[in-house]
Structures are given as C-alpha cells and as structure tokens.
Amino acid sequence: MKETPLSNCERQFLLKAIEEKKRLDGRQTYDYRNIKITFGTDYGCCIVDIGKTRVLAQVSCELVAPKDSRPTEGILFFNLELSSMASPAFESNRQSELLVKLNRLLERCLRNSKCIDTESLCVVAGEKVWQIRVDIHVLNHDGNIMDAASIAAITALSHFRRPDVGIQGEEVTVYALEERDPIPLSVYHMPICVSFSFFQQGTYLLVDPCEREERVMDGLLVIAMNKHREICCIQSSGGIMLLKEQVLRCSKIASVKVTEITELINKALENDRKVRKDGGKFGFAESMPKERITALKTEVAPVEMTDIEEKAKEIICRTEAPSEVVSSPVVCAPGTGQVGEGLQNSWGLEEVDALEDDVGEEREEQDMREQLEEESRNAEKGDVVVISDSEEEDVVILHEGTQVKHVKKQSVDSQQLAPSTAKRRRRRKKQVI
C-alpha cells in the first residue's frame, strides 16, 4: 500500500513554516523530541520512544562456528524490520529500498565502528564463538527511524547479559542463569546517529525531522558519533550538494546531542540495575501507569461500622408491620386471576366480548334471511312485494296482477351484510395481534 501523498497546500504550509523557523510540534530548529527508554523483563530487551516513533530492540545469542577469516572473533548481526503495523506504507516480508538503506547504515554505525569487543565472544578458537543477534522492530513510524534504531540497539547491547561458559577439555558447558550470573558484553563506546534534514537546497536545517517534514525535505545527512567526538559513520542522501561549513556545523551540533543522549542511556541503565538489585518493579511492569483498568485495582473506600446495629434497630422501628390479611383472588375471566389491589387484569376479556358480538351478529343475519325468505314466498302467492327504500332513491318493482304497496324499510342484502362481516374480521384480526 502506497502512502498518501501530501497536497500542495500542506507542502506549501510546511515549507513556509520552516522559513519562519516554526515547526508543527512547537520545537526549535535544533531540538529533539522527548526520548524515553524502557527495558523489558529479560536482559537485552529495550523500547525507545522519540516522540511518537517507537522502536523495539531484542538481543539474543547462540554458539556457532566462527568465520574462516577471523577464527578468534565473535559475530555481530543486525536485522531491522519495517512492519505494516508501524505504517501503512510498509509492506511485510519485502525488501524495500528504505529497509536496505537503514540496515546498511546500522551495520556501519555499530559493527564497523568496533563498539563491541568481538574477541571476548570467542569460546574455542576456530570452533565455537558467540553470535550476537540484534533484532530491531519499528512499532510506530513518525519520522527519524535511524536515530531511534541506533539508540535502541546500543542500549539493548549494553543491557544484555550472555550466559557463562565452562570448558573442560573439548567439552563446552553453558550454564543457566540460575546457576551462574550472566556476563555483560564489553562495550567500548556508544555510537549514536543524529539526523539532519535540509530544505530548499540546504538553505534551512532541522534536527530530528518528523514524518511530514521528511516528505518535503530535499536531503538528509546522518552523522554517527560517540561522546568522545569521534565520527563513526557519516552518510548524505537526497542528491544535494553540501558545503564544508555546513558539514562542520552539523558535526558540532551532533556532538552536543550525542553527549546528552549518552547521559540519558547511562542513567536509564543505572536505574534499571538498582531496581533489579533491590527486587522492585522493573521492565514493562514499572513503566505501566497506575490505576489502569487492566490493573484491576481500586482504592478501598472507608466504611464506619461501629453504630450499625443501632441504626438498623431505628430503621426497623420506623417501618410499619405488614398486614396479615390476604385478599382472595378475583377471577376476571376464564383462565385469569387477580390477588390484592391494583389495576384490573383485562387479559381475556376482549376475546369474550368479541365472541359474544359474533354470536349476536350471526343471529341477526339469520333473522334477516328468514324474513327475506318469507317475503319471497308471499310474493309467489300474489301478495305485495316490498322493496326497501335505498339511501340514494326509492325503487318500487311492480308485478303484473299484484297490488303495489310502497313501504320504506331498510333492506337487508349483501351490501348491508358486508359491513358486519368486515367488522367481525377486523375484530378477529385484532384478537390475533
């Protein structure tokens, strides 16, 4: 998945703010974001936060055969991973150009600078040496991954402890951590990367660029340096031409930043060492804030229990005694009952009323049919045929040889029977609902 490009308005806004020496998060030109270092429960696990950029470093070791060219030196291996969890622009299990560049720069900064004594990792010359593997995972990407990765890697190496080894003849014994105390690595110095971003062909300079500033920058300069002001690695990218004065200026700024970060790392290591020795909380448990929902702990509310009996007796005395008379059940309809006072239960009453209305209507219709049959028989005998007076007009039908008599009477035909039938259907539908 490709990252969403910046619009022209956003790009112009960022460049205009940089020209006015303003940044999105309110920092000055040479300011770093807040750096936080957290250690894990095991040795060699470290999380570094630079603003919203978060990087996890984990160090592990194993006994392997040494290289033929260097039989008495251990192996130091670095592996940086950009997962899609850090940013939608990263694709898992794929070697991108950014990933290759960061891996090479990290190896040049830490392995080629000889910050770790690799000769002390040799167990048996030409046969077995320790291979130190540093896995670096980017958890969240908000710019300046290289600085966060270098700080996390060197801090994790300084925090790591390898198991002790015993040699008897040709037999090599690796002792567990419970049997013998683990041995730390020999760290000569701490190389730390400092990134400088240039804008408008080197006219403007920023330290520790964030993710949006990296999108609009023209070039990037990374200087790896230790606190002794020794440059371990330097790399320029972006295709811009830098002057000698610009590089010297960046090196002076980097020396100050590296000294501050090195003091922060040493202080974090010392605090972790003291807490582990005293047996207190360390690792991720120490970094968790208190009173969180996942902690399942709340403050105990004090409750006064001295006069609880007296208050209970007062409440009982003020209450009225329950009545011993129980009213008999009232049967409102078949299958229903009601006990005590309250609203009358009308369940089942509508059904009884509807059945009674249906019976009455059926009787009325039967009477009407009998009356019509009687009138038709009288007409056959020569009697007067009476036609009802409609609501619209009076209609009288005369038969030959019969006496005509005009009587206004409400007719009973299909048109009058239809409303009663429709009414009965509506009532039945209401009962079903």
Question: 67-107, pLDDT tens digit by residue?
Answer: 988 889 999 999 998 888 888 888 877 778 888 999 999 99
- pLDDT for residue 381: 58
Instruction: With a cut of 90, say whether residue 260 has pLDDT above it.
Output: yes
> What pLDDT shows up at residue 426?
57
As a whole number, mean pLDDT of residues 231-248 equals: 88
Counting residues of the chain whose pLDDT is more than 90, the rounded percentage is 34
Indicate if the pLDDT at residue 275 is higher than 90.
no
Please check the confidence at residue 46 and state whether its pLDDT lies above 90. yes
Mean pLDDT of 53-63: 93
pLDDT of residue 26: 86
Question: In terms of Cα–Cα distance, which of 158, 166, 61, 157 is closest to 123?
Answer: 166
Residue 14 has φ and ψ, to the nearest 5°, of -65, -45
What's the pTM value of the predicted model, to 2 decimals? 0.65
Average pLDDT over all residues of the chain: 79
Cα 207 from Cα 211, distance rounded (Å): 12
d(CA 50, CA 293): 26
Per residue in 298-343, pLDDT tens?
A: 566 676 667 777 888 888 888 776 665 555 555 555 655 555 555 5
What the block records as the tokens of 89 is: 């622009």
End-to-end CA distance of the chain: 56
Amino acid present at 389: D
Lowest mean pLDDT, pick from 137-146, 205-214, 367-376 = 367-376
Reduced 3-state DSSP string for 153-180: HHHHHHHCEECCEEEECCEEEECCCCCC
The average pLDDT across 412-428 equals 51
**Separation of alpha carbons 142 and 51, rounded Å:** 8
Phi, then psi, of 124 in degrees rounded to 5: -130, 120
- pLDDT grade for 284, boundaries at 50, 70 and 90: low
- Residue 45 pLDDT: 92
pLDDT digits (tens, 9 = 90+) for 104-130: 999 999 988 889 999 999 988 888 999
Which pLDDT score, from 0 to 100, does residue 140 have? 92
Give the model's pLDDT for residue 172.
Answer: 84
The CA-atom distances, in angstroms, between 258 and each of 32, 190, 354 are: 11, 9, 94
pLDDT at 321: 67
The rounded percent of the chain whose pLDDT value lies above 70 is 72
Distance, in Å, from the CA atom of 40 to the CA atom of 58, rounded to the nearest integer, reads 9
**pLDDT of 281 strictly over 70:** no
List Cα–Cα distances, 126 to 119, 173, 186, 316, in angstroms: 12, 17, 21, 91
Measured distance CA(280)–CA(278) in Å, rounded = 6
At 244, give phi and psi (nearest 5°): -60, -40
**Least-confidence region, from 133-137, 155-159, 230-234, 423-427:** 423-427
Q: Taking residues 26-53, what's their average pLDDT?
A: 91
Res 342: pLDDT: 54
More reliable by pLDDT, 407 or 175? 175
What is the structure's pLDDT at 363?
A: 78
